[in-house]
């Protein structure tokens, strides 16, 4: 009997692989293209070897799924339903025969054998089941094909409970790959709608500020690490403006749910979770999301009070379910991020790059986060203005409202809906890869526009605007809120509601304080964790990311540090352009005022052992350099060339840019008071991975353009060339600060030993990382140069907050930052140590204040 199975299985394989047309016609539902089927089957039966020799189950060591016995198991579990299906239709077998076959199998095998012949747990996984499910249908079904899915049929053919099919279908539904037609029946759309859906999800995710939420969660995790159990509630506490939001299912026009039952459970359903999960990937850079963060965000959005462990576990379970299906769709891939805490499961987006939707009307969802309308902060007001035309903010998902609108639109849209017009959607994202040249051109244009606009703007408002605000100049939509942003940046009295504030900061942002309090200009560096990092790997706040967003376009580059090589590779081309707009937008949302910093600091650190914050403005005056729990106030005048020199030389010594492993330091910093002299004295290995953010005094005009050149940097095609240097010169020339043809050395000090990306190249880190890092350091150099040139601009290590700075006077707070291996004393040791030959150590040592998390991303087979 077992032989019969193998024979039938081969028949099955042959049919699948060749996928003959007659065969397709026989089936009620369209078969997937042979390629896919083949891959699926390959997975099911990969190189199993001599199938002609039926294995004896006893001889096979258990546990190896690809042993002969495993083949048998697979045969039974996977092939049998298919065989039955096909043979049924061919009239060779009927159901009774199948049953009989199974029965015979059972009889022929002993209890133990039969037990072993049963598919293992793995072979019954949802992922594999989903593979089989997907193999039944074409990616892009034609309209001629009958794409109805009968759940009963499928369940029977796949030999699973219908319950499992629901799991799959629900996720597919969230991507609009299927839609429910009626009881027990679904329509298969394949991937026709996928790109639209992803675009929409990305947009909604951005609007929902998932990036910031991720950021906050990571920050809180870090704080939790620092402060122990005390802050547990903070760690799990939902964050962001969406605390009270119940984001609902995002629908596409023409894809509305037809069953009320579905609608009634939408809010909790796997569908919504799935969409949110996908959103997290789409708004993250790199597109890696850990289950933990995802679960927290999803929980946070539901109910703040339901933060017990069981809820969390349940969420994780559901996320696994979703992830399995998404993995089968090849949209995500399982990876692991390794940090100090240990190895954490995460998933990496491997689906199509999702470009910002340029045609909002066609992809506008009928749903928006319900909280949108609730926001009243200036920030939210500003945010509202970003999407005035869409009117989405005015909607909440009320079924009656939505249905009213949809019913009128639906029919018409359905006519044009993707399922019936594959060619239309096929031009979308799936072909994104082919649009790279245009993307690059677009990117270049954007950068150019930015540069020009910024230069102009800089001259006019140099002393008034933050660099971040200026960066927005190229973003049309952001411009609308610029007055707000600008004024808020300058108006210390403008205090952001605490609940919203943390989410506003996408990056550590230097803020120019009006020199009303003292003659000293201050740069305030907010907590890096609010920076754009978001994207990043689970609970691995990356200083690079957090610190540089607005200045060095860290969004697009720093995250590279955290990417796997594969990811970096895939991102280099398409990612930058695609993410640029979003990144810029995020950058422009930064609003800082001293009070905000203080308030925010208070809020964030309230339960923290880090209580260093001087939360009155007086401190700004009285304290040379005032410590902020989440940032620094650094008198620019004190950030002397001297200090920078020390830093740079140190970096130089330490082989700075080396970042061989996926090792990242935490962005969390800023709790250590740092004076200029301290900076000077400190050796900062952390600079290895710490992008700089620098402050520009009103009189300094050279630095700002450099800052604004981040986009240029990002588009720079030559990773070896020092982009910052070129940009610096270009900018200076552009601004008329130096005559054309004159080249300014970024850093005379370092000139003899140009900061070379070589160390980075030597490392496993990709060129992107190297470029990024090289750029960062060059920027530092540039800043130094400006300072040297007598401009009062100063370079302030942004994440230097994460820099190992040993406080002159021991403060309790700082203790928290010396938990990293080596302890407080290690600072001096590290400081005095020569360049770290290995970038990893350098990084680790450098981040004495940060949760020294060694982050490694490994990819697993799901």
User: What is the binding site for DNA (CB under 7 A)?
Assistant: 62-63, 120-122, 124-127, 151-152, 160-164, 166, 169-170, 180, 182-185, 259-265, 268-271, 291, 310-311, 313-314, 316-318, 320-321, 323-324, 336, 342, 344-345, 862
Residues 714 and 16: their CA atoms lie apart, in Å, by: 45
C-beta closer to DNA: residue 125 or 420: 125
> CB–CB of 618/406 below 8 Å?
no
Tell me, letter by letter, the H, E, C secondary structure of 428-462.
Answer: CHHHHHHHHHHHHHHHHHHHHHHHHHHHHHHHHHC
Q: What is the distance between the alpha carbons of residues 855 and 837, in angstroms, rounded to a whole number?
A: 19
At 705, is the secondary structure helix, strand, or coil? Answer: helix
- Least Cβ distance, residue 264 to DNA (angstroms): 5
| Nearer of residues 163 and 359 to DNA, judged by Cβ | 163
Q: Which residues of 406-431 are buried (b: 16+ CB within 10 A; e: fewer)?
A: beeebeebeeebbbbebeebeebbbe
Cα separation, 712 vs 415, in Å, equals: 43
Q: Is residue 373 exposed (0-12), middle (13-18) or buried (19+ Cβ within 10 Å)?
A: middle
Of the two residues 185 and 424, which places its CB atom closer to DNA in the complex? 185
Between 267 and 595, name the residue whose CB sits nearer to DNA. Answer: 267
Whichever of 221 and 321 has its CB closer to DNA, that residue is 321
Residue closer to DNA, measured from CB, 290 or 428: 290
Q: What is the DSSP letter of 833?
A: S
Residue 665 CB, shortest distance to DNA, in Å, is 22
Question: Which of 362, 424, 324 has its CA nearest to residue 199?
Answer: 362
For residues 375 and 381, give the distance between their C-alpha atoms in angstroms, rounded to a whole number. 7
Q: 182 or 753: whose CB is closer to DNA?
A: 182
- DSSP-assigned letters across all residues of 54-87: PPPGGGSPTT-TTSHHHHHHHIIIIIHHHHHHHH
Shortest Å distance, C-beta 551 to DNA: 36
**Percent helix, strand and coil across the chain, each rounded to 5?**
55, 5, 40
CA distance 444 to 304: 44
Give the Cα separation of 214 and 218 in Å (integer): 6
Cα(250)–Cα(252) distance, integer angstroms: 7
Of the CA atoms within 13 Å of residue 825, those in its CB half-sphere come to 0
| Residue 348 DSSP code | E
Tell the smallest beta-carbon distance from residue 676 to DNA (Å): 43
Q: Within a 10 A sphere around the Cβ of 49, how many other Cβ atoms?
A: 12
CA distance 566 to 96: 49
Count of all residues that appear for the chain in the document = 862
**For DNA, which is the closer residue by CB, 116 or 791?**
116
Q: What is the smallest separation between the CB atom of 610 and DNA, expressed in angstroms?
A: 27
| Nearest distance from C-beta of residue 436 to DNA, angstroms | 33
Instruction: Pick the closer one to DNA by CB: 67 or 697.
Output: 67
In the bound complex, what is the minimum distance in angstroms from residue 860's beta carbon to DNA?
Answer: 7
Nearer to DNA, 38 or 166 (CB): 166
CB of 316 to DNA, least distance (A): 6
Instruction: CB nearer to DNA: give 93 or 335.
Output: 335
CA-nearest of 796, 716, 643, 548 to 725 is 716
Phi/psi at 635 (5° precision): -65, 120
Give yes or no for a contact between 524 and 597, defined as CB atoms under 8 angstroms apart: yes
Q: Which lies closer to DNA via its Cβ, residue 261 or residue 407?
A: 261
CA dist 183 to 150, 176, 407, 557, 605, Å?
Answer: 9, 17, 20, 48, 52
Element (H, E) at 255: none
Least distance from DNA to the Cβ atom of residue 290, Å:
9
Strand 148-150 and strand 631-635: the pairing is: unpaired
Q: CB of 419: closest distance to DNA in angstroms?
A: 19
State which residue, 311 or 413, has the beta carbon closest to DNA.
311
Nearer to DNA, 127 or 839 (CB): 127
Least separation in angstroms between residue 260's CB and DNA is 3
* Residues 798, 743: Cα–Cα separation, whole Å: 26
Residue 541's φ and ψ, nearest 5 degrees, are -60, 130
> Measured over all CA atoms, what is the biggest interatomic distance in the chain, rounded to whole angstroms?
92
**Shortest Å distance, C-beta 21 to DNA:** 30
Q: Are 75 and 83 spatial neighbours (Cβ–Cβ below 8 Å)?
A: no
Parallel/antiparallel/unpaired status of strands 342-349 and 288-290: antiparallel
Q: Which is nearer to DNA, 64 or 233 (CB)?
A: 64
CB closer to DNA, 281 vs 648 = 281
CB of 192 to DNA, least distance (A): 21
| Cα of 852 vs its chain's centroid, Å | 20
DSSP state, residue 419:
G
CB nearer DNA, residue 155 or residue 590: 155
Q: CB 585 → DNA: shortest distance, Å?
A: 32
If you ran DSSP here, which 8-state letter would residue 608 be given?
S
CB of 199 to DNA, least distance (A): 24
Least distance CB 186 / DNA (angstroms):
8
Please report how close the Cβ of residue 152 comes to DNA at its closest, in angstroms. 6
Nearer to DNA, 121 or 359 (CB): 121
HSE, CB side, 13 Å, CA atoms: give it for residue 364. Answer: 18
By C-alpha distance, which of 684, 590, 669 is closest to 627?
A: 669
Q: Are β-strands 332-339 and 522-525 bridged in parallel, bridged antiparallel, or unpaired?
A: unpaired
- Cα Rg of the chain (Å, integer): 29
Least separation in angstroms between CB 96 and DNA: 22
Distance of alpha carbon 638 from alpha carbon 594, whole angstroms: 19
């Amino acid at each position: 009997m077992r032989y019969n199975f193998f024979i039938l299985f081969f028949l099955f394989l042959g049919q699948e692989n060749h996928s003959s047309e007659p065969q397709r016609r026989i089936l009620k539902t369209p078969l997937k293209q042979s390629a896919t089927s083949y891959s699926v089957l390959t997975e099911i039966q990969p190189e199993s070897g001599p199938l002609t020799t039926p294995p004896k189950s006893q001889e096979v060591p258990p546990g190896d799924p690809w042993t002969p016995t495993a083949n048998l198991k697979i045969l039974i579990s996977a092939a049998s339903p298919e065989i039955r299906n096909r043979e049924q239709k061919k009239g060779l077998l009927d159901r009774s025969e199948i049953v009989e076959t199974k029965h015979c199998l059972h009889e022929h095998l002993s209890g133990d054998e039969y037990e072993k012949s049963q598919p293992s747990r793995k072979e019954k996984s949802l992922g594999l089941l989903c593979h089989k499910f997907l193999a039944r249908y074409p990616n892009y079904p034609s309209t001629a094909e009958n794409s109805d899915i009968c759940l009963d049929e499928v369940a029977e053919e796949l030999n699973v409970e219908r319950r499992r099919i629901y799991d799959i279908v629900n996720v597919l539904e969230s991507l609009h790959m299927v839609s429910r037609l009626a009881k027990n029946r679904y329509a298969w759309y394949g991937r026709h709608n996928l790109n639209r859906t992803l675009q929409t999800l990305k947009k909604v995710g951005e609007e929902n500020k998932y990036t910031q939420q991720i950021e906050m969660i990571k920050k809180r995790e870090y704080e939790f690490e620092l402060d122990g159990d005390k802050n547990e509630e903070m760690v799990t506490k939902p964050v962001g403006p969406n605390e009270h939001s119940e984001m609902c299912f995002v629908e596409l026009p023409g894809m509305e749910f037809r069953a009320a039952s579905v609608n009634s459970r939408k809010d909790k359903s796997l569908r919504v979770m799935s969409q949110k999960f996908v959103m997290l990937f789409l708004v993250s850079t790199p597109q890696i999301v850990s289950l933990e963060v995802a679960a927290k965000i999803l929980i946070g959005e539901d109910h703040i009070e339901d933060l017990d462990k069981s809820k969390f576990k349940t969420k994780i379970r559901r996320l696994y379910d979703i992830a399995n299906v998404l993995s089968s769709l090849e949209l995500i891939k399982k990876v692991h991020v390794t940090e100090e805490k240990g190895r954490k499961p995460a998933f990496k987006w491997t689906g199509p790059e999702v470009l910002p939707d340029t045609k909002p009307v066609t992809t506008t969802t009928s749903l928006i986060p319900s909280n949108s309308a609730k926001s009243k902060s200036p920030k939210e007001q500003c945010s509202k203005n970003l999407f005035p035309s869409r009117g989405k903010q005015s909607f909440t998902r009320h079924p009656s409202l939505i249905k009213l609108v949809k019913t009128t639109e639906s029919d018409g849209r359905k006519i044009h809906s993707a399922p019936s017009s594959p060619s239309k959607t096929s031009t979308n994202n799936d072909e994104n890869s082919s649009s790279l040249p245009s993307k690059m051109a677009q990117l270049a244009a954007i950068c150019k526009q930015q540069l020009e606009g910024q230069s102009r703007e800089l001259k006019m408002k140099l002393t008034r605007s933050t660099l971040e605000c200026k960066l927005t100049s190229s973003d049309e939509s952001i411009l609308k809120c610029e007055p707000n942003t600008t004024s808020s940046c300058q108006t210390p009295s403008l205090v952001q509601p605490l609940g919203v504030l943390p989410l506003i900061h996408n990056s550590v942002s230097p803020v120019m304080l009006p020199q009303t309090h003292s003659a000293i200009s201050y740069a305030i560096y907010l907590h890096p964790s609010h920076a754009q990092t978001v994207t990043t790997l689970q609970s691995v706040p990356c200083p690079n990311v957090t610190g540089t967003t607005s200045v060095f376009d860290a969004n697009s580059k720093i995250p590279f540090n955290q990417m796997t090589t594969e990811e970096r590779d895939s991102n280099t081309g398409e990612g930058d352009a695609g993410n640029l707009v979003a990144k810029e937008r995020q950058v422009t949302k930064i609003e800082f005022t001293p009070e905000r910093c203080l308030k925010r600091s208070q809020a964030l650190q309230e339960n923290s052992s880090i209580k260093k914050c001087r939360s009155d403005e007086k401190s700004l005056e009285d304290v040379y350099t005032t410590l902020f729990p989440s940032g620094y106030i650094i008198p620019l005048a004190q950030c002397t060339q001297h200090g920078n020199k020390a830093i740079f030389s140190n970096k130089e010594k330490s082989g700075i840019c080396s970042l061989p492993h996926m090792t990242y330091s935490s962005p969390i910093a800023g709790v250590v008071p740092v004076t200029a002299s301290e900076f000077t004295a400190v050796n900062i290995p952390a600079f290895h991975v710490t992008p700089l953010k620098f402050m520009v005094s009103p009189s300094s005009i050279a630095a700002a353009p450099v800052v604004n050149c981040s986009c240029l940097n990002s588009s720079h095609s030559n990773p070896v060339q020092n982009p910052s240097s070129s940009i610096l010169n270009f900018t200076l020339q552009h601004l008329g600060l130096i005559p054309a043809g004159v080249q300014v050395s970024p850093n005379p000090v370092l000139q003899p030993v140009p900061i070379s990306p070589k160390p980075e190249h030597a490392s496993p880190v990709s060129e992107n990382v190297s470029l990024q890092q090289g750029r960062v350091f060059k920027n530092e150099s540039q800043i130094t140069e400006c300072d040297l040139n007598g401009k009062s601009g100063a370079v302030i290590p942004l994440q230097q907050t994460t820099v190992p700075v040993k406080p002159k006077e021991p403060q309790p707070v700082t203790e928290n930052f010396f938990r990293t291996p080596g302890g407080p004393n290690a600072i001096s040791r590290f400081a005095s140590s020569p360049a770290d030959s290995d970038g990893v150590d350098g990084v680790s040592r450098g981040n004495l204040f940060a949760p020294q998390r060694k982050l490694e991303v490994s990819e697993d087979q799901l």
